[in-house]
Amino acid sequence: MSTHTFNRAIVRTPSRSVVHGLRAVDTGSPQYEAVLREHAAYVAFLQSEGVSVETLPLLEDFPDSVFVEDVALVFTGAAIALRPGAPTRRGETSEIVPTLERHFERVLHLTKGSAEGGDVLTTANAVFIGLSARTSAKGAQSLLQLLGEIGHRGVVVQTPPSVLHLKSDCALLDEETILCTPRLAASEPFPGFRLLLTSAGEEGAANALAVGDQILLSQGYPRTAEALAKAGYEVKTLATAEIAKIDAGLSCMSLRWRS
Ligand code: GLY
């Protein structure tokens, strides 16, 4: 099955508390209405590509709960409820479990260590798990076992130091190709894949999202966009400047699978 084609997605409306979301570097808080606009445009794009999107209600107690990708891994027929490494995010998991149980025949639960979905890159033959400040070695080992139970092969790699998530620095473009920052590529984490590197100073472009035949990229990375276009990809850009103030990317705002 193709891993970059999906027809179902779950998103969560940003809460007003999103302005207090976690961030590695404080460049000012995002403006709520602008976050709503960016989120709505993201959802509209997925829908315009034929994706059926379920929007979950906002959770004021969890500022980062708009980043649904971090609390679960979803596959055709099965899901794994994760344990976020950020203490303020741990309660988000129990909020999404009933939704997972509605959509998936099997729902497994990570009970040891911590792991966030932003640290997990799913490809056809391997599920790469990046160790980071949010995903512990214990969580990764436990996740390997759970992935095995649902027929997936996990591979543990290292997220670059001080990078939030593995997928802050990479995205699957197609079955053979990964968009990757030079700092992640340096550790050769994806043997057998063709790597396209983000341009110098455009590391933020790496959290792209393949949607059908298009690559969704955040605005503001013109050289990477051009390189992708030259490599034959159809690139579509979206504004993410407000939500990026709390370290958002394009993958983290949805859970995606093929039903
Ligand atoms: N603000 C996203 C996160 O740190 O989890």
The DSSP H or E segment spanning 116 is: none
Average pLDDT across each block of 10 residues of the chain; the chain has 259 residues. List them in order: 78 98 95 98 97 98 98 98 98 98 98 98 97 98 98 98 97 98 98 98 97 96 98 97 94 97
- Phi and psi at residue 72, in whole multiples of 5°? -160, 155
Closest atom of ligand 1 relative to the 84 alpha carbon: 5
What is the three-class DSSP state of 155?
Answer: strand
- 88 CA → ligand 1 middle, Å: 10
Token reading at 244: 């990026």
Q: Which CATH class name applies to 8-257?
A: alpha beta
Per-residue confidence (pLDDT) for residue 5, from 0 to 100:
85
- 245 CA → ligand 1 middle, Å: 10
Residues with CB under 6 A from ligand 1: 21-23, 64, 67, 86, 246-247
The DSSP H or E segment spanning 256 is: strand 255-257
- Amino acid code (one letter) for 243: I
- 71 CA → ligand 1 middle, Å: 11
Decide if 145 contacts 115 (C-beta within 8 A): no
Read off the pTM. 0.97
Residues annotated catalytic, as ranges: 165, 252
Closest atom of ligand 1 relative to the 21 alpha carbon: 1
Closest atom of ligand 1 relative to the 24 alpha carbon: 4
